[in-house]
Amino acid sequence: MNDIYSFSVRNIAGQLVPLENYRDHVVLIVNTASRCGFTPQYQALENLYQKFKDQGFVILGFPCNQFGKQEPGDHQSIAEFCRINYAVSFPMFEKIAVNGENSHPLYQHLKVSAPGTFGTLAIKWNFSKFLIRRDGTSYKRYGPLISPTAMIGDIESLLKT
H runs (alpha helix) in 16-119: 41-52, 75-86, 105-113
Determine if residue 116 is left, alpha or beta; phi over 0 gives left, psi from -120 to 50 gives alpha, anything else beta.
beta
**Catalytic annotation on 82?**
no
16 close to 8: Cβ distance less than 8 angstroms: yes
115-147 in b/e burial notation, b at 16+ Cβ within 10 A? eeeeeeeebebbbbbbbbbbebebbebbebeee
**Distance of alpha carbon 136 from its chain centroid, rounded?**
14
Q: 141: which strand partners?
A: 130
Q: Which residue among 26, 30, 36, 45 is the active-site one?
A: 36
Angle separating helix axes 152-159 and 41-52, nearest 10 degrees = 20
- Alpha carbon distance 60, 130 (integer Å): 10
The catalytic residues are 36
